[in-house]
Amino acid sequence: MERSILHVDCNKFYASVECLYRPELRSLPVVVGGDVEKRRGIVLTKNEVAAKYNIKTGEAIWQARQKCPQLVCLPPNFPLYLRYSRLARDIYARYTDRIEPFGLDECWLDVTGSGLFGDGLQIAEEIRERVKFELGITVSIGVSYNKIFAKLGSDYKKPDAVTLITKKNFKSIVWPLPASDLLYVGRATTGKLRNCGIYTIGDLACRTPEYLHTVFGKVGYMLYAFANGLDAEPVCALGDTAVIKSIGNSTTAPRDLENETDVKIVYYVLAESVARRMREQGFRCRTVCVSVRDNELVSFIRQCKLKRYTANAKEIAESAMDLFRQNYTWPKPIRSVGISCTDFEHENSHFQLDFYESYEKRAKMESLDKTVDTLKSRFGNYCIQRGLMLSDAGLSGFNPYDDHTIHPIAYLKSK
C-alpha cells in the first residue's frame, strides 16, 4: 500500500497566537522576536500584515523596523505557544497515532490505512478546517507519499491551504522549485550546488548519484533521493521516546568578542549548562563540538574526541577552547559561539582506569558537580559562579540552561 503522509505547518504560528489573544493587533504589522538590547533581536515570525513589508524570518528587528517603522514587536511567550502546539496535536491524534513533531508548529502524520476518515487529501482538509474552527489559527498541509515531498507541499501554498503531491505530478510541482527548498539544504549546500550549475530540485534530480557523491560525499546520495521522491523515512509513533543524540547550547553575545578571554567566559557559561543537562540525563560525552560565527556572519563548526568520557564543565570548556585556538586566528571579532556534546555513554557504564589519573579525584569532581546542580536548582542559576564569570558580568550574565530551546531530532545525525 502506498503511504499517505501529511505535513501540517501552523501558519506564522507565534504571531498568529499572539494576534488571537490580542484582537487589536490583527490589522497591524506584528513580529515576535528576541531582546533587541541584548542583540538577540531576531524576527522569529511575523503576521500576514508584516509579511507585506517583505519582513523576513531571521533578520534583525532593527532591519525589519527600517522596512516598517510602525512595526509592533512582541517578546515570545513560549508557554502559550506550547499550549497551542499540544492542542493542535490533540486534533491530529484523532486521525492517527503516528505523529512526529518538527518543532512546536510542524508535524508529520502518517495516515496510511486510515480509511475510516477518508484518503489523505480528505483528512488534510478536515484537519485544516478543525484547527481553524477549534483553535482560531490556520495551517497549511502537504499531502504526499513521503515526508520530504509532504514538507514541500505544506510550504507550496500558504496560508490555510492543502497541496497534494503524487508520483504522477511531483515533477511538475517539485522540480521547478529552488534546490534550497529541500529539507536540510542550507546556505552552504546551496552555494555548492550553484557552483555545480544546480539551481532547482529538477537540476539536482537529473544528476547521477555517483556525481553527487563525488561532490558532497554521502550527503550526495541523500540529496539525490530527496529530489527524486525516494525518501522512505518512517513517521515516528506518538509517544515514542526520541533518542538523544546531542546536547548543546549557543548564544549571540551582547557585544562582539574581541579576545580569548571574552570567548572563554562565554564558553564556560555554555559548558556549565551543557554539562548540567547531560548529568540530568545520566550521560557522559566523548565528543565536543564548537561553533563560531564572526560579526560578518561567517561561521564554522569543529569537533574533537576526548581522552575519556566526561560530564564535567571544566573539561568540556577547556576542550572547546583548544578547538577554538586551533581553528581561529582572529580575522574579525566574534558574534556568536556554541558548544554541543555527543557520543554518549551512561554514567553507570564501566570504564578503563588510568594509571596517570586519580580515580578518587574524579569522583570528588563528580560529587562537587552534583552538589552545585542541587544548589542551582534550589537557589537559582546565579547562586554560585566561577570567578572567571565574575570578571565580566555583561558577557556571563545569561542563563542558557533556563533559556535553551529544544530542537527536534534531526533527520541526519549531523547536518
- CATH code, domain carrying 59: 3.40.1170.60
pLDDT tens, position by position, 50-71: 999 999 887 888 889 999 999 9
Dump pLDDT digits (tens) for 203-221.
Answer: 999 999 999 999 988 889 9
Please give the tally of structural domains in the chain. 3
Shared domain for 250 and 392, answered yes or no, is yes
- pTM score, two decimals? 0.66
CATH code for the domain of 212: 1.10.150.20
Residue 410 lies in a domain: no
In a shared domain, residues 313 and 196? no
Is the same domain home to 205 and 252? no
User: Same domain for 212 and 273?
Assistant: no
For 115, 241, 260, 347, 367, the CA distances from 371, given in Å and listed in that order, are 55, 29, 29, 16, 6
The pLDDT value recorded for residue 157 is 94
285 plus 199 within the same structural domain: no
- Select from 78, 104, 121 the last residue of a domain: 78
Residues 150-165 have pLDDT tens digits of: 999 999 999 999 999 9
Judge if 219 and 341 occupy the same domain: no
Is residue 369 domain-resident? Answer: yes
The per-residue pLDDT of the chain, averaged, comes to 88
Span 311-350, pLDDT tens digits: 999 999 999 999 999 999 999 999 999 999 998 887 765 5
Residue 60 and residue 190 in one domain: no
Q: Examine the domain organization and report whether 201 and 292 are in the same domain.
A: no
User: Is residue 260 annotated as part of the catalytic site, yes or no?
Assistant: no
The pLDDT of 79-93, averaged and rounded, is 93
Q: Determine, yes or no, domain membership for 40.
A: yes
Record the cell numbers describing residue 133, joined without a space: 474552527
413: in domain? no
Same domain, 301 and 374: yes
Q: Is residue 119 part of a domain?
A: no
Buried b (16+ CB within 10 A) or exposed e, 311-348: bbbebbbbbbbebbeeebeeeeebbbbbbbbbbbeeee
Q: Which of 59, 100, 106, 315 is catalytic?
A: 106
Within this chain, do residues 209 and 329 fall inside the same structural domain, yes or no? no
Q: What is the extent of the structural domain holding 223?
A: 175-227
* Same domain for 367 and 264: yes
Residue 63 and residue 201 in one domain = no
